[in-house]
Amino acid sequence: MNFYRLFIPLIVMITGASVKAQVSSLPVKMPVMGKNDTIRVASTNVDGEMIPWIPLDEVVIYGVRIFKSQADQTAFNRLRYNVMKVMPYALFAKRRYEQLERELAVTGDKKEQKKLVKQCDKEIKEMFNREIKELTITQGQILTKLIDRELGRTTYDIIKETKGGVTAFVYQSVARVVGHNLKSTYSPQEDRDIESIIISSGFYQ
């Protein structure tokens, strides 16, 4: 039994060495170099021939949208303006709450966690007081959808998780008075115009 235990690994080692020797003994055909070929590029061995290649940047091609009427085009242009206006705020909220989640994950101290939540809430409020409070009702509605798109959670859910259900209810009540809904969700199918604007906007380049 001990002989077989030693024999099998020995066969595997000899076979592996033989394969390696066969691979290394194959002749490799290098590409013919011209006098102006001075740029170093990657290459791949394909059946003994080195094939040079370079990576290319992705090229995204968009179709030209044809509108049924001038009114439809005007409405789309207005939507695009509103989306471009609020998208930076949604991305800021995404980065800030992702940072908060990372910070909460590495500390088990309840007092420190409350301090982190309070600091995040303060930064979001400062942004609201400085810029977002000037948004129109339509822009505010789009922003709540985009927050759900970026974070995978509604604004209501975020407030509920960080500040509690009572605070979330109060915020939602105030928002409803001015025409907002913090529970608004985002659907790429239903909001396909917004989705197409975001994809072609360059925010993710």
pLDDT tens figures, 127-142: 766 666 678 888 888 8
Residue 23 lies in a domain: no
Beta bridge partners of 49: 29, 46
- CA 147 from chain centre, in angstroms, equals 13
pLDDT of residue 72: 92
Q: Give the per-residue SS3 of the chain.
A: CHHHHHHHHHHHHHHHHHHHHHHHHCCCECCCCCCCCCCCCEEEEECCEEEEECCCCCCCCCCCCCCCCHHHHHHHHHHHHHHHHHHHHHHHHHHHHHHHHHHHHCCCCHHHHHHHHHHHHHHHHHHHHHCHHHCCHHHHHHHHHHHHHHHCCCHHHHHHHHHCHHHHHHHHHHHHHCCCCCCCCCCCCCCHHHHHHHHCCCCCC
Core vs surface per residue 164-186: b (16+ CB within 10 A) or e: eeeebeebbeebeeeebbbebbb
pLDDT of residue 39: 74
Question: pLDDT tens, 82-110?
Answer: 999 999 888 888 888 888 888 888 888 88
Residue 97 lies in a domain: yes
Domain count, the chain: 1
Residue 96 lies in a domain: yes
Structure tokens belonging to residue 157: 């859910």
Pick the more confident residue, 161 or 188. 188
Res 43 pLDDT > 90: no
pTM, two decimal places? 0.61
pLDDT of residue 130: 67
pLDDT of residue 74: 94
Residue 134 lies in a domain: yes
N-term to C-term CA, the chain: 62
pLDDT of residue 121: 79
Its domain, for residue 182, covers 74-199
Identify which of 139, 120, 142 has the alpha carbon closest to the alpha carbon of residue 131. Answer: 139
Cβ count within 10 A of residue 89: 19
Residue 83 lies in a domain: yes
Residue 36 lies in a domain: no
Residue 172 lies in a domain: yes
Residue 12 lies in a domain: no
Res 156 pLDDT > 90: no
